[in-house]
Amino acid sequence: MRPHDPPLVLEGRVAKGFGRGGKLLNCPTANLRDEDVGDQLDPHETGVYFGWIELNGNIYKMATSIGWNPFFKNDKKTVEAHILHEFDADFYGERVKMVLCGYIRPELDFPTMESLIEAIENDKVVSNLALDLPKYDHFKSYLK
């Protein structure tokens, strides 16, 4: 995502993923359904992005993985948003809208689960800090 590119805006319903995020990686995710994403991802680089997500009228920070998750050898490209907020309940089936503001890193195949978890934790920190910068506030307007 280059600075002059328009932001990527995605919306759809939250689907059950592989069940790894919250249980295995300490990173529960809101996964978009394939039928909602379609071919919108084709021109975009895989990797980890930061941005904003709207859920039930509220806007939250997020770190989002787009890609094949090489560590787990996925056979399909997914959108997995980790919302930087604690929720008391699941929200499968809820409609979300997200805008990606910036690119953190490419997707990588990590040598160990521990190194993957360390990278994910760093992605959360980078996302949180970046979205504290006023220059990313205007991206929220894409969610209205």
Q: What is the CA radius of gyration of the chain?
A: 14
Residue 95 belongs to a domain: yes
Is 121 one of the catalytic residues? no
Residue 1 belongs to a domain: no
Residue 68 belongs to a domain: yes
Q: What is the pLDDT of residues 51-65, one digit of tens each?
A: 999 999 999 999 999
Q: Which domain holds residue 41?
A: 8-139
What proportion of the chain, given as a percentage, has pLDDT over 90? 52
Residue 85 belongs to a domain: yes
Please tell me which residue in 35, 54, 80, 94 is annotated as part of the active site: 80
Where residue 31 sits, what CATH number does that domain have? 2.40.30.30
Residue 2 belongs to a domain: no
Instruction: Give first-to-last CA distance, the chain, whole Å.
Output: 22
**pTM of the predicted model as reported, rounded to 2 decimal places:** 0.89
Residue 40 belongs to a domain: yes
Residue 77 belongs to a domain: yes
118-143 mean pLDDT: 96
- List, as own/partner pairs, every contact residues 118-126 make where C-beta atoms lie below 8 angstroms and the sequence separation is at least 24, other chains included: 120/25, 120/26, 120/27, 120/63, 120/82, 121/26, 123/48, 123/50, 123/63, 123/82, 124/27, 124/63, 124/82, 124/84, 126/50, 126/63
Domains contained in the chain, number: 1
Q: What is the pLDDT of residues 91-129, one digit of tens each?
A: 899 999 999 999 999 998 889 889 988 999 999 999 999
Residue 28 belongs to a domain: yes
